[in-house]
Structure 1
Amino acid sequence: MYWPALMGAAFRRDPEGGGPNGALNYGYTVLRAAAARAIVGVGLHPSLGIFHAGKRDPFQLADDLMEPFRPLVDEEVHRHGDTWAGPLDPTRKAALVALTTAGLPTDQGVVPVVRVLIGIAQSLVEVFQGRRSRLWLPDAWEIVRQERLDLDD
Structure 2
Amino acid sequence: MSTDFYEIWIKPYAAIIIKICRAYTNSQEDFEDYYQEVCLQIWRTRNNFGGQSDWSTWVYRLALNVSLTLLKKKKNDPQFFTSEFLPNELVETSPVFPDEALNHLYDAIKLLSEVDRGIVLLYLEEKSYQEIADITGTNPNNIGVRITRIKERLKKLMDGKVN
Q: TM-score range by the shorter chain?
A: under 0.3
- Greater helix fraction, Structure 1 or Structure 2: 2
TM-score of the pair, normalised by structure 1? 0.28
TM-score of the pair, normalised by structure 2? 0.26
